[in-house]
Structure 1
Amino acid sequence: MLEVIGAILYLKVRRRLSINSHLLVGIIIFGLVNEISLIVAESNVINTSYLVLIFILALCIVNVFGNIELDRKQRKISVLIPAHNSANTIVEALESIKNQTYRKWEIILINDASTDETEEIVKRYLENNKLTLEYVRQKEHNYFKAIRHGLKYANGEIIFVLDADKILFNQNVFYRAVSTLFGEKCDGMFVGIRAMYQRLKDGKFHLIRPYYRNEASLVKTALGFGTNIYANYAFWRREVFETSVYENYLINGMPAWYNAKRNLGLRVVNGNFVGLRYRIFKKENLIGESFSANDSKRLLKLSTELRTLHHIVSRIKIPAYSTQTAVYSAINKLHIASLCPIIFKCGQTSLKEVTPLIAEDIRNLKLDNLYLKTIIDFGSNFSPQKSEKITIPKGT
């Protein structure tokens, strides 16, 4: 009886149990069956394993007959919207949030140095629509800096970044996201993306590939020269976003799901539903902003990919790197990368083996840049046995 009472108190402390007549009847029957079994068995000694079994059975009885209440607490979603020259798209983005069936949310809209009518349009929209919205500005255009700036005003337990040229897929995205994120007890949740050629006309659906929190995902990222194999569009727990995602993605530009300090992925799950629609204006980069042929953006993308690659290969040995890269590239083009066999072990992959392939890839892009040349020179001459103390002059 003490163990039955202990089972009740255990669940009661967690505020998930409602004591009712069904539970009392179940406990009485359980107690009678238990006592009868002891009388029949004529046991002189009750051992530990028997007590553990009784406690487990008591928990089961309480769970079955007690009214177990699901956690009904609503978590606030903070939606960060960095908007740069988004006059033509920002209203539809705000409308997609306004129409959500899940109502506990707030919007932090960051005007990312827009030179068009974005601010005027937002003000006119707010005059006719009541939204929980914080409007902030920054003078210099910088996508990641805008998100970092907006995070200062966020009060929610969940963080979601919605680009101003994208909209939520339907009215139930927030509801499904919160249910999955806290039901799975994970760090974050990826959402699917669908192209949108015209209003109300859907295009290609980009299903996020299955996410595995293991070294195989890191190796495949390295075989793609540091290219993010997943999307960065995800709902995040605030504490995770403010620490790992902030440092690795918003500061260093590496994949949001990657924890560089531990050289392992975060606990992220696939939402298995479409969460976003994006417009087709020009060639799109699904892991960040719209990507054009502008050299500065290409340089930024390359530098962050190289940073990711160097982090991974410094702690994982990938034998026959060039051969495995060629095999992975061929299989990945067939969209069956999850079936690609890979070989790796603990250790380090020599940068002298990796760098020539990177240099060839950069030459194909026809980027002539001192920064990239320095990285290539570093990788070509890198030796883990050599070290050098570098002093950076003050004021540099």
Structure 2
Amino acid sequence: MSDHRAAEFKRKLLTQLHEAVSSNGISPEMKPLVRAALTNPRILGTFSAVYRGDFFGDAKGVYIGMGDDPFLMEFGDRATSDLWKTVVTSPNNGWITQLDAQGQRKDAHTPPSVLAGLMALAFDGQVDDGRSKVLHVGTGPGYFAALLATYLQDHKRLTSIDIDPEVVSKATKSLNAAGFFPNVEVADGLKGPDKPELFRTLIASVATDEIPPAWVDLIEPGGQVIAPVRGANTEAVLQLKATNASTLEGKFKPAVLNMMRVQAPALNETSIQAPSVKEMTSSSITADSFEPDSDFLFFLERLHPRLSVEIPADPSQATVLRDNAGNQAKVHFLTKSANHTQQIQIERQGAKDLWAQVAESHGLWQKHGEPKPTELGVTVTAQGSALWAREPDALISPPRAVPPHIAVARNPPGACTFRRKPGIR
């Protein structure tokens, strides 16, 4: 594509970013961050300098409809394609260009509005000493690495890592061809680069369920971690400060991110046959507690990151709880009583009562004054993480070790299946 055409598309992307901030094109939580990015000359300059279209490699198109039947919309001739123009200039869309063998997204582009917000969170109001290093977790196509390298000016101040060798190879090729030369390495994002060193900032462009303790040892005192966290239904950005050499601490910022989650091929799969137990109970926890914008649901997914809550589109169907040890509970919300309790039918499998875990969590949420998502924070040390409300000394749960990341798979009838993931993608 001609330099003139690329410059035109970069200008259009910036124009649409400004328009999205002025309209309803960006979620309310992200608007202040994107606005800060667009009023920061140095961050704004990075988007003017980097052409998003340089980071699609040989992709034939983008995948639409990530359900059971995704289909590929092809670009055709990029020089004249309206789809290509839409893809590279859209500020709020994350595009999927490659699927893995299981039909899950393998290579995806995070929306530029989200990347702008992350950069504002990391750099706006900060003084750059011109020397401090930045670690980027989740290289992906390479576009965000190019933005970060441009912002830092000295490209070698940036190290970008990804667990997938194929992704790293493609991204490095795209970066170098476009004139960007950061350090790009194959490494497990849960652990960091193979060569031990300290960074002023760690910024992730993949979402994980909670912060890996190994990140504590990667950040110099006074440094920071900017990382998306995501449960089955809620997501947020964490800005953690290194309060000393062994502690990261900060609050959640709820946000709509549309960001790629931790991904990796399954290593092990185990099916556990478990008897089914049915029971009736009444509870102050109602179906409304599991609405996607529920404060309690946000709390629950932060307190128990590996508890999956599947909310049905049809309220007459069961809400399904699963964990990574093969336990499951199907929860049917029945009639509401006059005293604001609800009759509930529970069908559970496995050794652990997941509904009891939810009820205990609801009690903790009430005990701590039903904190809003923005009032929740986390302290991370090498030993694990602890959730707190409003102030770090108001612990909701004691520090817990963070086990290996495990993905809960959809279970066949009568069996519970789990798959272990080795690290971040």
Q: TM-score, normalised by structure 2?
A: 0.24
Higher strand share: 2
**Structure holding more helix per residue:** 1
